């Protein structure tokens, strides 16, 4: 995500396809004033770009925000998020208190490091894109996570389960990506769970065999593209 200084403030135009302003802890009031003046729809923050806060209370002063992304942070409170009734794009990680996602009815895309006692993710009616990072449950299964049936895109990164069998059925899913899941050795029954899957990418999952990838590709009638463990496949045009 390209970030540059514009008129003295950190700005990106790449996050959620809207303009987002960097929040700097030492210039918090100035940043909020700039966002208010231009009605900037998104905000981001990271220690790499001057954000060192432990809460998001300041978001209550920008209730129109549609997109937030705060990373490499250690938050003690996320109450400020609940001021954003129109939030569509969410990314706050890795260290944070649990979040009640039920309160973001318009959320369309979420990037999360799951936290114990998070709730409501599975009931979001508009959520289409979900990117999971560093999910490491004790039982090595995805069963403890909630997945909305509206998902069109799912990305799993650095997760510990050995199989995708514990993922729920997602009838609308079109794209699945799995990256750097070092315990993964089985893709399970993707055809049964994701009957409309068109795109499959599995990369850097050291225990997964090439034969397992070939088996799954052959079982997916809607698949148009796959890249599994370094081998690409594309359905021939008939």
Please say whether the beta carbons of 162 and 188 come within 8 A.
Answer: no
Model confidence pLDDT, tens digit, residues 127-174: 999 999 999 998 999 999 999 999 999 999 999 999 999 999 999 999
- Residues in Cβ contact with 61 at an 8 Å cutoff, skipping those fewer than 6 apart: 32, 36
Model confidence pLDDT, tens digit, residues 12-51: 998 888 999 999 999 999 999 999 999 999 999 999 999 9
Model confidence pLDDT, tens digit, residues 167-219: 999 999 999 999 999 999 999 999 999 999 999 999 999 899 988 988 999 99
Question: Given this model, what pLDDT does residue 154 score?
Answer: 98
Expressed in angstroms, the distance from the first to the final Cα of the chain is 37
Question: Given this model, what pLDDT does residue 15 score?
Answer: 84
Q: How confident is the model at residue 238 (pLDDT cuts 50, 70, 90)?
A: low
Q: How far apart are CA 12 and CA 48, in angstroms?
A: 14
**What global pTM score does this model have?**
0.95
Radius of gyration of the chain (CA): 19
Which fold is adopted by the domain 1-127?
3.80.10
**Percent of the chain scored above 70 by pLDDT?**
100
Please give the C-alpha separations between residue 125 and each of 15, 76, 121, 137, in angstroms, as whole numbers. 22, 28, 9, 26
Q: How far apart are CA 227 and CA 213, in angstroms?
A: 9
Tell me the domain boundaries of the chain: 1-127, 131-238
């Amino acid at each position: 995500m390209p970030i540059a200084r514009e008129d003295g403030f950190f700005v990106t135009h790449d996050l959620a396809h809207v303009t987002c302003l960097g929040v700097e802890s030492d210039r918090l009031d100035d940043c909020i004033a700039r966002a208010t003046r231009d009605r900037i729809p998104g905000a981001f923050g990271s220690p790499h770009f001057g954000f060192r806060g432990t809460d998001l209370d300041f978001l209550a002063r920008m209730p129109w925000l549609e997109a937030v992304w705060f990373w490499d942070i250690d938050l003690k409170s996320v109450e400020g998020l609940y001021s954003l009734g129109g939030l569509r794009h969410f990314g706050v990680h890795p260290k944070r208190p649990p979040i009640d996602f039920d309160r973001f009815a318009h959320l369309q895309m979420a990037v999360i490091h799951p936290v114990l006692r998070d709730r409501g993710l599975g009931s979001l009616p508009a959520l289409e894109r979900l990117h999971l990072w560093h999910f490491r449950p004790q039982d090595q299964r995805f069963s403890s996570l909630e997945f909305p049936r509206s998902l069109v895109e799912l990305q799993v990164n650095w997760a510990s389960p050995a199989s995708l069998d514990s993922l729920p059925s997602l009838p609308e899913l079109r794209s699945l990506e799995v990256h750097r899941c070092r315990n993964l050795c089985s893709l399970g029954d993707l055809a049964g769970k994701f009957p409309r899957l068109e795109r499959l990418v599995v990369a850097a999952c050291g225990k997964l065999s090439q034969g397992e990838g070939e088996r799954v590709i052959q079982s997916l009638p809607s698949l148009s593209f796959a890249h599994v463990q370094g081998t690409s496949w594309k359905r021939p045009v008939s």
